[in-house]
Amino acid sequence: MHRRGVGAGAIAKKKLAEAKYKERGTVLAEDQIIQMSKQLETFKTHLEEFASKHKQEIRKNSQFRVQFQEMCATIGVDPLASGKGFWSEMLGVGDFYYELGVQIIEVCLALKHRNGGLITLDELHQRVLKGRGKFAQDVSQDDLVRAIKKLKAMGNGFGMIPVGGSYLVQSVPAELNMDHTVVLQLAEVKHIMRSEVRWEPEHLLKEGLAWLDTQAYGDPQYWLPALFSELSARDITPDEASQMVP
């Protein structure tokens, strides 16, 4: 009687079939890998081209930077996530914000004696631009906000208080309680009238954030150097000069 299927030959055949499948699997994977490698190579080249083509752009053009950041956000990439990341190394974006952060700290420290550690985003922007000189890269307020967020995350005592559509940048962790924050949001004008809001300005005086003015009409007023935009010295006008002639 003949029995088919199981025999040395069948086993050998099976083994061969298995081997062939395995081989094909390997071959398939290899194929895919080769394909992917090729694609990655192309991708890498494209990326390098992109990087070199736009590196200048990214460093020079603040609007481009915003768009670039937004693009990164949609694909789940944070170019500022780590200083040594692929993106920050490729494009030098990390360096840019790191340097900007240092500049911001310098400006805030230099003015702290005058404004108690509170400065408008506008003034910070002006001074940062001034400090960078005529030929340096353009810096937008968006850039400043990002850099400050980075500083905040690193625990540098930085904070931002929304005021009238913009921000006040706080570089000293002073105890500004809720009341004052609310008042600052309400204060679109440069000085705060004591009679307008029920709050205690003594705290602001104590922190060196406000100065007392007793020569205004009516009640004493409190002025915050941080909100006072004419802080830079200027030449006196011809009118004023004529008043000064003895």
Partner 1 sequence: MNFEWPWQYNFPPFFTLQPNVDTRQKQLAAWCSLVLSYCRHRRIYTLDVMEAQESPMFNHKKIERKLSVEAIQIVFEELRKKGNLEWIDKSKTRCLIMWRQPEEWGKLIYQWVSRNGMINSVFTLYELSNGEDTENEEFHGLEECMLLRSLQALQVESKAEIITMDEGKGVKFF
**Which residue, 33 or 216, is less far from partner 1 as judged by CB?**
216
Please report, for residues 81, 110, 131, 173, the alpha-carbon distance to residue 117 in angstroms, rounded to integers and kept in the order given: 28, 9, 19, 8
Separation of alpha carbons 164 and 186, rounded Å: 7
**Which residue, 25 or 220, is less far from partner 1 as judged by CB?**
220
**Which residue, 110 or 212, is less far from partner 1 as judged by CB?**
212
- The reply on whether position 109 binds partner 1 by CB under 8 A is no
* CA distance from start to end of the chain: 139
Please list the residues that pair with 159 across neighbouring strands: 170
Within a 10 A sphere around the Cβ of 118, how many other Cβ atoms?
A: 27
Count of residues of this chain found to bind partner 1 when the rule CB under 8 A is applied: 28
Contact 36, 69 (CB under 8 A): no
Q: Taking CB under 8 A as the rule, which mask of x and - marks residues 200-229 in contact with partner 1?
A: -----xx-x--xxxxxx----xxx-x--x-
Shortest Å distance, C-beta 167 to partner 1:
22
- The reply on whether position 242 binds partner 1 by CB under 8 A is no
- The reply on whether position 113 binds partner 1 by CB under 8 A is yes
Read off the tokens for 135: 């030929």
Read off the tokens for 245: 């002639």
Binding site for partner 1 (CB under 8 A): 113-114, 191, 205-206, 208, 211-216, 221-223, 225, 228, 230-236, 240-241, 243-244
